Amino acid sequence: MSIEVLGISVLWLFLFGYVIVASIDFGAGFFNASTIITKKHHIVNTVIQRYLSPVWEITNVFLVFFFVGMIGFFPQTAYYFGTVLLIPISISIILLVLRGSYYAFSTYGTKGHFGYTLMYGVTGVLIPASLSTALIVSQGGFIVETASGRIDLDYMALLTSPFAWSIVALSLVSVLFISASFLAYYSSVAEDWDALKLFKKYTWIWSFPTMFTALGIIIEMKWHNPAHFEGLLALWWLFALSFACFVVSLWLLKTKRYGWSFIFVVLQFAIAFYAYGVSRYPYLLYPYLTIYDSFTNQTMAYALIIVFVLGLMLLIPSLYLVFKLFIMNKPYIKKGK
Amino acid sequence: MDSVEFSRYLTMLTLSVHVIFATLGVGVPIMITIAHWLGLKRNDEHYILLAKRWTRGYVITVAVGVVTGTAIALQLALLWPRFMEFAGQLVALPLFMETFAFFFEAIFLGIYLYTWDRFKNPWRHFYLLIPVVLGSGMSAFFITTVNAFMNTPQGFTLVDGVLTNIQPLVAMFNPATPTKVAHVLTSAYMTTAFVLASIAAYHLLKGNRHEYHRKALALTMKVALIFSIATALVGDLSGKFLAEYQPEKLAAAEWHFETEGEAPLVLYGVLTETNEVKYAIRIPYALSILVHSNPFGEVTGLNDIPEEYHPPLVIHYFFDIMVTIGIWLTVFSLFYWIALWRGWSVIKTKLFRILLVASGPLAMIAIEAGWWFTEVGRQPWIMRGFMSTAEGATDSPYVWAMFIAFAFLYMILLIGTVVVLTRMFKRNPVEKELEKLSDEQRSVAK
């Protein structure tokens, strides 16, 4: 494996980590807000608060990690993505700031104001949509060069593209699917049967749309980027495997093995995520940047990988501790009642 | 105004907001650690409660620090894409390590916060603070090395626009790193101590005579004195560093135009259009002494530096604000400490308490002024000697709109923080919490 491939694999891992933890977080915020409107808030409130409070900060770090690593391994991406994505990513930042601060304000400060909770839910759906612009742009076709030689985002093309909207739709439904699946597991640990019933229902509701949108995107890719479409087809067996995990996770959900069901949901996304990543090889930003021409110097690459390994040796035990104390810990989760 | 100007102002805005919370983020864990340690050691519930209440407020400031930190991390690439493309090959290492340190801190802060009564042995809970203190200190260290690198870049060779011979560690440990890191850490500890002292003094000023607030004030003021002295010492070293590596910044800060020996230190004053200094206090020889530890040492003046590399002369005011507040706070805390030791009653007067309350905000102003001085003082460079600010900025035409959006956002954020923090502590005064604590202990004893 070349060091470039190793670099992008590491980053892909972080992005995947963010997708999972952020999905749980965003989805939880959404369910928290939507159940207020549907008058079922009292059922899910405890479970969500118990989970979110100690971990919400960690979620943010995954994003920064991915992003800093990206600039470290592939400094040229800073120029292209930085220039083009000023507006969409600024919108994401604003939403992230509002979300993070209002969460802290309402949780640690004044107890649960309705407006806060609503805002928390709304930002939870808007952030995945705005962040996915980075992914959409990286597929190529949305960057234009102006007469003065400047590069810019073609907003009209972006806003009118069914392909772009499909990716936004996929990010939304998969956020809700992942989150519901996790929260179903979490409520089963907490032995909170009402919450479990509700989250189980949500998992079913959001599972099939996830599959439809994902399939739709693969088909749309044929027109949007034929080369990438070929790449996806070549990896059909991985997507088939991902689909198999999806079926297994639903079967496990039906047979009340919620922990395993969630693990298979993660597997399903992991396989699809990596297959998608491999299929676009070697492009970071089609057709401007490949992982080879934008790679940083060798010295820095090795230094980053060494630090990465050392850092993981520190992080994995710490994350395990968090897991043990807050996620796998029955007395903690149940105490909220 | 063009995108370069707006990019500069937006960066300044984000960092000015972030630095408030970053400073507290670095400083408060140490204060919590000291209070928690004293509480366990002396078995004094006042100190334990102090640690608890500080932690509770700290969580709010950390949350805002995290989100503004995320904002600046992303904005660096959005507003300065050319610079990040170039510097990404040189300073990715400390940037990457900073996120690790931050991650580490975030994890353990979360655990500390939610495990107050989950350990049988209270010391085990206390030990969770060590990674929090280390993590916050390390992230300040790593990120400051990046800023130091922008001031004194090294660790690479530039041949016809191509980078060769890159040495990440040499880039990290550049000449500006030692003084910058030391100054950032000591001033953060100092500022935090004064901010917490302000809070305690505020309660005493309001007529609250509770033992808890007296203990808090005495403790924070002692810590504040120690770190004020340390900050002043490091500040002196920073001046010597500037004279050697960035003479243009020091000369601009001091309005020092002619290269000469026996250079005076210029305090305050105004500058006329023809660059004459009026109404200033001149301390003879002081600049030479500051720079060379020798009253006759020669100090480079601005006239010996090409005009296109002159930093804006306005930084003199920022420098004055920082140094004046620094000296005042050092003298002030020393006086407090002596008065406390000798039992002078002057520290219990209303006026003195007003001064105590003012010290926290003053220290924070000094932090802002210090950063503006150091950042504006390296104009026109974004990377001194290698890349000008204009070359590093984005050419996107929408920066002005983002500036307005973020200005509005930060306003909401700051107001929200103040409202939440005051509400949180007003609704839950110390007396009520202490009562609750002793009730709990009584029920345990039964």
The pLDDT tens digits for A5-53 are 888 888 888 888 888 888 888 888 888 888 877 777 777 777 777 677 6
Q: Which residues of B touch A22 (CB under 8 A)?
A: none
Distance from CA of B37 to the nearest CA of A (A): 23
> For the CA atoms of chain B, what is the radius of gyration?
24
Quick check: B114 and A87 CB within 8 A? no
Residue B427 has pLDDT above 80, yes or no: no
How far is residue A72's CA from residue A77's CA, in Å, rounded to a whole number?
10
Pairwise pLDDT comparison (B249 vs A105), residue with the higher score: B249
* Pairing, β A151-153 against β A143-145: antiparallel
Burial class (CB in 10 A: 0-12, 13-18, 19+), B445: exposed
What's the pLDDT score for residue A1?
Answer: 66
Chain A, 152-211: which have a CB under 8 Å from a chain B CB? 152
Specify the amino acid at residue B56.
Answer: R
* Neighboring chain A residues of B4 at a CB cutoff of 8 Å: none
User: How high is the pLDDT of residue B188?
Assistant: 95
Q: What is the mean pLDDT of residues A48-67?
A: 75
What is the average per-residue pLDDT within A199-228?
82
Question: pLDDT exceeding 70 applies to what percent of chain A?
Answer: 93
- pLDDT tens digits for B184-205? 999 999 999 999 999 999 988 8
Burial B382-399 (b: 16+ CB within 10 A, else e): bbbebbbbebbbbbbeeb
B111 and A297: CB-CB below 8 Å? no
pLDDT(A184) > 70: yes
pLDDT in tens, B104-115: 888 888 888 888
Distance from CA of B106 to the nearest CA of A (A): 6
Minimal CA separation from A158 to chain B, in Å: 17
CA of A106: which chain B residue's CA is closest?
Answer: B420
Ranges A44-53, B37-46, B375-384: which has the least confidence: A44-53
* Residue A303 touches partner B, C-beta closer than 8 Å: yes
pLDDT for the residue B137: 93
Tell me what pLDDT residue A142 has.
80
Picking from A68, A81, A315, the nearest residue to B96 by CB comes out as A68
Per-residue pLDDT, B185: 95
Cβ atoms of residues A264 and A248 within 8 Å: yes
pLDDT of amino acid A334: 66
Least CB–CB distance from B93: residue in A83, A303, A326: A303
Residue B165: the pLDDT is 81
Hey, where are the domains in chain B? 3-247+303-445, 260-299
Alpha-carbon gap, residue B1 to B8, rounded angstroms: 11
Q: What span, in angstroms and rounded, lies between the C-alpha atoms of B75 and A276?
A: 28
Give me the mean pLDDT over the A137-151 stretch: 78
With vertex at residue A268, the alpha carbon angle to CA A263 and CA A274, rounded to the nearest 5 degrees, is 120
Q: Identify all chain B residues contacting A109, using CB atoms and an 8 Å cutoff.
A: 60, 420-421, 423-424
pLDDT at A337: 43
What is the number of alpha carbons within 13 Å of residue A272 lying toward its C-beta? Answer: 22
Residue B274 has pLDDT above 80, yes or no: no
Rounded CA-CA distance B77/A85 in Å is: 10
In this prediction the pTM is 0.88
Q: How far is CA A171 from CA A33, A229, A273, B297, in A?
A: 19, 19, 12, 65
What is the distance in angstroms between the Cα of B396 and the nearest Cα belonging to chain A?
A: 6
Question: What does pLDDT average to over chain A?
Answer: 82
Residue B189 is predicted with a pLDDT of: 95
CA atoms within 13 A on the CB side of A94: 20
Report d(CA B34, CA B19) in Å as an integer.
Answer: 23
**CB B103 to CB A303 under 8 A?**
no
For A18, the token pair is: 């963010």
CB pairs under 8 A between A and B: 212
The more confident residue out of B393 and A108 is B393
User: Does A121 score more than 90 pLDDT?
Assistant: no
Other Cβ atoms less than 10 A from the Cβ of B253: the count is: 27
- B chain contacts of residue A127, beta-carbon cutoff 8 Å: none
CA-based angle A226:A246:A32, to the nearest 5?
A: 105
Closest CB from B66, B88, B98 relative to A75? B88
Residues of chain B neighbouring A96 (CB-CB closer than 8 A): 67, 70-71
Give the helix/strand (H/E) hosting B173: none
Range B147-167 average pLDDT:
84
Q: Who has greater pLDDT, A52 or A186?
A: A186
Mean pLDDT along residues A59-86: 84
State the smallest CA–CA distance between residue B398 and chain A in angstroms: 8
ipTM over 0.90: no
Nearest CA to CA, how far is B393 from chain A (Å)?
Answer: 9
Collapsed DSSP state (helix, strand, coil) of residue A116: helix
Nearest to A203 by CA among A31, A76, A8: A31
Give Cα A106 distance to the centre of its chain: 24
Higher pLDDT, B299 or B363: B363
Rounded to an integer, the average pLDDT of B53-61 is 88
Task: Decide if B284 contacts B262 (C-beta within 8 A).
Answer: yes
Cβ–Cβ below 8 Å for B99 and A325: no
B440 pLDDT exceeds 80?
no
Supply A335's token pair. Answer: 């105490």
Q: CB under 8 Å to A176, separation ≥6 — which residues?
A: A27, A30, A31, A202, A206
What pLDDT digit, counting tens, does each position of B220-236 carry? 999 999 999 999 999 98
- Extract the runs of DSSP E, i.e. beta strands, from B224-299: 265-267, 270-271, 277-278, 281-283
Would the CB atoms of A83 and B81 count as touching at under 8 Å? yes
Report pLDDT digits (tens) over A292-337. Answer: 887 778 888 888 888 888 878 877 887 788 777 776 676 766 655 4
- A44 versus B46: the higher-pLDDT residue is B46
Length of chain B: 446
Contacts of A93 in chain B (CB under 8 A): 70-71, 74-75
- Strand, coil or helix: what is A306? helix
Q: Which of A49-53, A58-62, B55-59, B263-267 has the lowest mean pLDDT?
A: A49-53
Least confident of B286-290, B316-320, B420-424: B286-290
Q: What is the DSSP string of A27-53?
A: HHHHHHHHHHHTT-HHHHHHHHHHHHH
User: Mind telling me how many Å the CA of A252 is from chain B's nearest CA?
Assistant: 31
Distance CA A250, CA A267 (A): 13
Assess A79–B contact: CB distance below 8 Å, yes or no: yes
Per DSSP, the three-state class of B256 is coil
Q: What is the pLDDT of residue A288?
A: 79
Q: Can you read off the two tokens belonging to residue B83? A: 């610079």
Residue B446 pLDDT > 60, yes or no? no
Using alpha carbons, select from B95, B101, B235 the residue that is nearest to residue B172: B95
- Our CA-based measurement puts residue B213 at a distance from the nearest CA of chain A, in whole angstroms, of 22
In angstroms, the Cα distances linking A249 to A59, A182, B225, B414 are: 24, 12, 61, 45
Q: What is the crossing angle of helices B315-342 and B247-254, to 10°?
A: 80
B383: left (phi over 0), alpha (psi -120 to 50) or beta: beta
Answer with the residue of higher pLDDT: B11 or B118.
B11
Structural domain for A139, as ranges: 3-333
Rounded to an integer, what distance in angstroms lies between the CA atom of residue B138 and that of residue A101?
24
Q: What pLDDT is stored for residue B231 in this prediction?
A: 94
Which residues on chain B are in Cβ contact (under 8 Å) with A154? none
Lowest mean pLDDT among A232-241, A279-288, B302-311, B343-352: A279-288
Q: Do A82 and B64 touch (CB under 8 A)?
A: no
Find, among B137, B240, B152, B149, the residue nearest to B184 by Cα: B137
Q: Is A277 in contact with A12 (CB distance < 8 Å)?
A: yes
Count the domains in chain A: 1
Write the residue in A64, A94, A110 that is nearest to B423 by C-beta.
A110
What is the pLDDT, as a whole number, of residue A109? 57
Q: Which of A18, A51, A71, A96 to mutate to test the interface with B (most CBs of B within 10 A)?
A: A71
